[in-house]
Amino acid sequence: MMIRAIPTLVYHHERVSTRQVLTNRPGRTPSILDLPRETLELIHAHLISTPTQWLHVHYPNDLAACTTACLRLVCWRWAEWLYVNHLYHGLKFDNASRSNEFIAYQRSRSELLPHAKCQHLVIGRIWTTREAPTGDVGLQDMITSEILENLLDLFPTTILTLDLQFVDHPSLPIGNIQAIKRIESLRELHLNLSPTSVGNQPTTPTDPEFFNALIVAAQGIKSLVLGIPISLDYEPEPGMWGDRPYPAITHLHVNMLFQRTIDILRLSIAFKPSLKVLSVQANEQEGREDLIDRLFQLGFTHEGFENLGVRMSRIGRVYELLKESLEGLSISSSHILRDNIFTQAPIEILAINAQAAFDQCDPMFFGNPLAHLPKLKKLVFMNAPADYSAPPKFLEACEALDVQCVYIDHYQMPLIMVSLLFLMQFSSPFNVPIGTIPPKGIISIKG
């Protein structure tokens, strides 16, 4: 059986005046303006998404902003609904002048008018630790602490994701930290570096006092992405900074370019009571493997690791630790299937890259490529074009084993695997949306 999970939305749009819609005369032919709000939301999501990211748009997004602005011209009801819920859904600011203009515009709107909702806010080129230089063109017009606070206070009840990108040494005054604390809806916090034309980047670790004060202030966050250097020179108490509790962070993403192994371990310990997914980005191999060993020693065996790169020779060892829970496997290349690592594994859903299935399947397999997966129920081909059909060897294998063959036009595994306990992925870094992390976490190993 084959299922193509690419939606097609068909609707009738009759030209009617706003007056006609409002009068709602008996016998009037319904139009798109009469559709339920939930259906309009689905249509809007379809129009602003790309073919490979259906219903999972990354913000800020130029296509989404342009499409939303055009749809506002349909009628006043759409204009109001789209302004409030979608026009400023994702925003990015990286210069002072544009930021000040936007702040002034929002403040000038009447209190009687609906206010826009921003859920994803990116603020780049932040310079807060000292007076910004005036002679260097690459460091002019940057975001100050005052501008940052004003931007945050525009959307204190709607921001879900906040991405702060620093030019100089990452630090924020207490006023900015309190502004972040006031964002009651915040669930995901990113702390990154903001590249400039002069290449200034901090080389010294972020002050742990600032880091901890910021994290404990953001009590609602579930995901923390660290792209700045963090150094903890002490052994943290799990879940606590002194007498103040850390937020219940379930997903921690770190970069070994900035963090030492010991600091990643200490961060993991600090958030251990709630941590389910640890994502480690790195190019250096030995450091990652050493990190795996030390994390296992600390009791993180089944707490969920993501993107911990290991050599193929190490995959079997990791699998032995997880084989009782492993139910899902996502890979970018099909060569892993020719090995006996996952023989008799209870994997029920296998997701592979659609193009890789063609590039690697025929020259590699002489028999059934799914022979080692007796409990497999679904074979998913990710990022499949509309006219895609799986290689004959996979189709024959699915028919022989009564496996369902599914095509999807994206890589967003949580959309189809929210019920899985563990996910293993051997491709690009996997971003785990808030709310879809399974109870026991996710493991994704990049090889």
Q: Give me the pLDDT at residue 3, please.
A: 43
* pTM flag (> 0.75): no
Closest CA to 352 of 280, 411, 266: 411
pLDDT value at position 298? 61
Alpha helix locations (H) across 141-240?
A: 145-154, 174-181, 208-217
- Both structure tokens of 160: 């879900």
Count the alpha carbons within 13 Å of 35 in the hemisphere toward its beta carbon.
17
Query: What DSSP character marks residue 116?
Result: P
3-state SS record for 268-286: HHHCCCCCCEEEEECCCHH
Six token digits for residue 95? 């210069």
Quote the CA–CA distance of 397 and 195 in Å, as a whole number.
49
Give the span between the Cα atoms of 352 and 333, in whole angstroms.
Answer: 7
Q: What is the pLDDT of residue 69?
A: 79
Least confident among 97-106, 149-158, 410-419: 410-419
CA distance 70 to 45: 14
Q: Name the β-bridge partners of 93.
A: 123
Overall average pLDDT of the 201-221 stretch: 88
Tokens linked to 6: 């690419």
Q: Which residues contact 359 (CB under 8 A, 6 or more apart)?
A: none
Alpha-carbon gap, residue 151 to 228, rounded angstroms: 22
Q: Is 110 helix (H, G, I), strand (E, B) or coil?
A: coil
Q: Which sign does the torsion angle of CA 47, 49, 52, 53 carry?
A: negative
- In 3D space, the residue among 35, 45, 30 whose CA is nearest the CA of residue 82 turns out to be 45
Residue spans of the domains in the chain: they are: 230-305, 310-429+441-447
pLDDT tens column, 195-210: 764 545 556 788 999 9
Q: Give the tens place of pLDDT for each residue, 127-163.
A: 887 666 665 555 678 899 999 999 999 999 999 999 9
